[in-house]
Chain A
Amino acid sequence: MASSWLPRWFYQLASPRWCYSITGKLIPWFAATGGLLFLVGLIWGLAFAPSDYQQGNSFRIIYLHVPTAILAQSFYMMMAIAGAIGLIWKMKVADMVAKSVAPLGAALAVLALATGAIWGKPTWGSWWVWDARLTSMLVLLFLYLGVMALNSAIESETTAAKSTAVLALVGLVNIPIIKYSVEWWNTLHQPATFKLTEKPAMPAEMWIPLLVMVIALYLLFGLAMMLRLRNEILRRERRAGWVKELLGS
């Protein structure tokens, strides 16, 4: 018998059927609040936030660049943790979460790199430099692509999930490298805007819209993740009685 020190919701999460129904209820809320906050953050950041005294208006790319870079990293951690849970507790839903997160994380990494390059051109005079922060972020994208390729290359769903979980866990070492790259190495890249222990160095009218955009993108990509997860649940559980009941009527 499994140990009972874990909370009840943890076991409920293990049920594909329960996850399918709870995500169905959460999706409209994520869509509504995420969409609204995104609109607010977008208009605020593009039209109302003051321009930077050094960088002028190209600084407004921050409202897309920082949220996508943060999310690309936290989605990677989510993928690795879900993979680990799948390995340890043999939880099918965790494997499905890891699989659903990977392409979204890759898209976020591409977006963070692309907006960074576009921002770099007017600011540093170059689209790309082989700098520690940029290079470690590129490694993150390759890790995502590696995980996706490995997952699709293995026929058996369980073996694929196990192998990708191991790869994702090994790649986790890259996350602190990205985070501290601006401190460990001399770099063109500016230090982090948000730190847990300090107030942001920029004025409130600049960082509040940024925070709004971070929350909005968490909600919108959480929404995308749940949509993918539901498709994956239906596909993998297609022979289960509850799926037949759900779709048969």
Chain B
Amino acid sequence: MAFETFADFLNMGGHGLYVWLSYGLGLLTIALCIYLPVIQGRETRRTLRRRIQRESIKS
């Protein structure tokens, strides 16, 4: 461990704001990059499924 206490860890030797701001942004961006295509995929599949069902009723 590079830190004595948890408060030291949060403080990051006075650079806490910079470090945690970077990591906050990073985690948010990475999560969105994975989560957004997942919900888009669900939406695409739902729409396509509906279209296929409609077509099979017509024919």
Contacts and interface: CB of A to CB of B under 8 A. Distances in A.
Interface of A: 38, 42, 46-51, 56-58, 60-61, 64-65, 68, 104, 107, 110-111, 114-115, 118-119, 121-122, 217, 220-221, 223-224, 227-228, 230-231, 234-235, 238, 243-244, 247-248
Interface in B13-59: 13-16, 18-19, 21-23, 25-26, 29-30, 32-34, 37-38, 40-41, 44-45, 48-49, 51-53, 56
A111 B24 CA distance: 11
Contact of B45 (A68, A234, A244): A234
A231 B44 contact: yes
Contacts of B3: 47
Contacts of B29: 107, 110-111
A227 B38 contact: yes
Interface of B: 1-3, 9, 12-16, 18-19, 21-23, 25-26, 29-30, 32-34, 37-38, 40-41, 44-45, 48-49, 51-53, 56
A57 B19 contact: yes
B21 A64 contact: no
Given A47-B9, A57-B13, A234-B48, A114 B22 contact: yes
A223 B34 contact: yes
Contact of B37 (A51, A58, A65, A228): A228
A230 B41 contact: yes
Nearest to B50: A247
A57 B1 CA distance: 13
Contacts of B34: 220, 223-224, 227
Contact of A227 (B2, B14, B18, B41): B41
22 contacts: A38-B30, A42-B23, A51-B13, A58-B18, A58-B19, A61-B18, A61-B19, A61-B22, A64-B26, A68-B26, A107-B29, A107-B33, A114-B25, A118-B21, A119-B18, A217-B30, A224-B37, A227-B34, A238-B51, A243-B48, A247-B49, A247-B52
A119 B22 contact: yes
A51 B45 contact: no
A220 B29 CA distance: 12
Contacts of B44: 231, 234-235
A228 B30 CA distance: 14
A247 B44 CA distance: 11
Given A107-B33, A114-B22, A119-B22, A49 B2 contact: yes
